[in-house]
């Protein structure tokens, strides 16, 4: 199977040439295109990414406590960061999407771009090994890791809420999407967040799920009077 020029150029940008070209295409195939898609590779890549970045932070910041390490890792593996990396690789032009996603600009959507980066990590691991995969992931993150300090990021509201509940030995927050309204390219997500310290769930709305969860967590922190 011979890849087109755009996929060959993508491999150059990734710094990795796939032994199995079909695996590269699978990693770039969104579920909107059909049942044969990148969701399983994304699941695998997400786990590998968290381990690789966690290990890198553990080795770099030898005197930093677990909570701050977790926040730093969260900053590096969150969807926005992965979408930035995808854009640096010009990944959008290589995505394989269903007709609806193509028309609605799915190749520019953060969540799809982020998932595809994780799927690429899973694909590289699938045909090589952990050490090879780690080498490439760290090369993609080299600039971000080198500029990182323990003060790079303040605690985001979801992390603050989670840490507060963990400190009290209480169950973690539960986030649930209760409504997704509007066209696929301009949806509004309504989520509910439940914590054992409040009788009623807190609702929040935003144009993406992650932002709605942050808004809900911020409101819960306010209600619990957590600074």
CATH 3.40.309.10 assigned to 157-223: no
pTM of the model: 0.68
User: Which is higher by pLDDT, 91 or 148?
Assistant: 91
Does the pLDDT value for residue 189 go beyond 90?
no
If one looks up domain 5-146 in CATH, what number appears?
Answer: 1.10.1520.10
Task: Give rounded-to-5 percent helix, strand, coil for the chain.
Answer: 60, 10, 30
Q: Which of 8-12, 128-132, 143-147, 153-157 has the lowest mean pLDDT?
A: 153-157
For residue 227, pLDDT beyond 70: no
84 counts as catalytic: no
Residue boundaries of the structural domains of the chain: 5-146, 157-223
Q: Given the residues 118, 156, 192, 213, select the one marked as catalytic.
A: 118
Catalytic residue among 12, 17, 39, 46: 46
Averaged pLDDT, 165-193: 84
CA angle 106, 16, 40 (to 5 degrees): 50
Task: Point out the annotated binding site for Mg(2+).
Answer: 42, 115, 118
* Residues 61-72: b if buried by 16+ CB within 10 A, e if exposed: eeeeeeebbbbb
């Amino acid at each position: 199977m011979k890849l087109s020029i755009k996929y060959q150029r993508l491999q150059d940008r990734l710094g990795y040439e796939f032994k199995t070209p079909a695996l590269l295409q699978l990693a770039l195939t969104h579920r909107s295109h059909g049942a044969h898609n990148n969701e399983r590779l994304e699941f695998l890549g997400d786990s590998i990414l968290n381990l690789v970045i966690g290990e890198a932070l553990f080795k770099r910041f030898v005197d930093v406590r677990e909570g701050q390490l977790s926040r730093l890792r969260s900053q590096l593996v969150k969807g926005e960061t992965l979408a930035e990396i995808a854009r640096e690789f010009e990944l959008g032009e290589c995505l394989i999407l269903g007709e609806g996603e193509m028309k609605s600009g799915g190749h520019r959507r953060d969540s799809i771009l982020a998932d595809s980066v994780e799927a690429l990590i899973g694909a590289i691991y699938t045909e090589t090994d952990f050490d090879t995969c780690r080498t490439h992931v760290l090369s993609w993150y080299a600039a971000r890791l080198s500029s990182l300090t323990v003060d790079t990021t303040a605690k985001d509201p979801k992390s603050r809420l989670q840490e507060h509940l963990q400190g009290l030995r209480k169950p973690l927050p539960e986030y649930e999407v209760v409504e997704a309204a509007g066209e696929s390219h301009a949806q509004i997500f309504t989520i509910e967040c439940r914590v054992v310290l409040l009788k009623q769930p807190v609702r929040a709305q935003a144009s993406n799920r992650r932002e709605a969860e942050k808004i809900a967590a911020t409101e819960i922190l306010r209600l619990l009077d957590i600074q």
